[in-house]
Amino acid sequence: MARLLSEFVGETLVRGPYQAGNAVAEDAIRRTIIDLCERGGVWQYEQEFELQYGVADYPLLAPEQTRVVCVSWVDVQGRKFIATQNSWTCACGPFSVSVPNAKTLMIVPAPYPTCPSWCKVSMWLAPLQSCCEFPDILYEEYSDTIADGAASRLLMQPKQDYTNFGLGRQLSIQYQVGVTRAKNKRVMQHTTGPILMRGAYF
């Protein structure tokens, strides 16, 4: 089930910036969600594709209005390789996996005819600035964290009717705690060590 930005507005404004308009609040919410996805790895997506003889580059196909932040693990016919290891070995010999850019998975050397026939990749996604719909998990599990982060952004904007730096800093600390919890949850799920990670916007 997809969630709209408007569904996060009420929980954001009730934290202090009551006078902020919905459009301003939605922009702060979107920026907070992007930061949470980039640093917390909360939006996970899996792609499965067939390995082809002699082909080393495989496109990472993220859903519309999203981009790949990093690859967390690769599964080759049921055998999972965590990205920190950055390589795997099959009967054909050693192989390495890398992500030269956010849209490509590279396998070196290119698969042989006797290599496994399929591969599954787990990715972390972040929405684009134009994205307006988000997965249900962001609302069900992280709505408080998102509201804290978005409200802190609004409250710390200078020279607004709702500016409140003290409350904004307090909510920012709560948001950072939420991001840390998301990271810890990811570690517990053994999805540490992205091959590719981009910076945060927050």
The model carries a pTM of 0.80
Given this model, what pLDDT does residue 183 score? 85
Counting the structural domains of the chain, the total is 2
Six-digit token string for 160: 């607004």
Q: What is the mean pLDDT of the chain?
A: 82
How confident is the model over 71-120, as pLDDT tens digits?
878 887 667 766 654 455 555 556 677 777 778 888 877 877 777 678 88
Instruction: Answer with the one of 89, 106, 126 that is the final residue of a domain.
Output: 126
Higher pLDDT, 70 or 151: 151
Domain membership flag for residue 201: no
**Omega within 30 of 0 (cis) for the link into 109:** yes
Six-digit token string for 48: 């499965």
Given this model, what pLDDT does residue 152 score? 97
150 lies in the same domain as 172: yes
Phi, psi of 153 (to 5 degrees): -60, -45
Question: Is 190 a residue whose pLDDT tops 70?
Answer: no
Q: Where are the alpha helices (DSSP H) in the chain?
A: 6-13, 22-40, 136-155, 165-188
> Which own/partner pairs from 23-29 qualify as long-range (CB within 8 Å, at least 24 positions apart)?
24/154, 25/150, 25/154, 28/150, 28/151, 28/153, 28/154, 29/5, 29/146, 29/147, 29/150
137 lies in the same domain as 113: no
Domain membership flag for residue 198: no
Domain membership flag for residue 197: no
Domain housing 161? 2-41+131-188
- 3-class DSSP state for residue 60? coil
62 lies in the same domain as 110: yes
Given this model, what pLDDT does residue 74 score? 80
Percent of the chain with pLDDT over 70: 81
Given this model, what pLDDT does residue 157 score? 94
Given this model, what pLDDT does residue 30 score? 94
How would residue 192 be classed by pLDDT, with cut points 50, 70 and 90?
Answer: very low
Residue given tokens 């850019």 in the structure block:
101
153 lies in the same domain as 122: no
Element (H, E) at 143: helix 136-155
Distances (CA, A) of 179 to 14, 182, 187: 21, 5, 13
How would residue 18 be classed by pLDDT, with cut points 50, 70 and 90?
Answer: confident
Domain membership flag for residue 202: no
Query: What count of residues does the chain have?
Result: 202
13 lies in the same domain as 68: no
39 Cα distance to chain centroid:
7
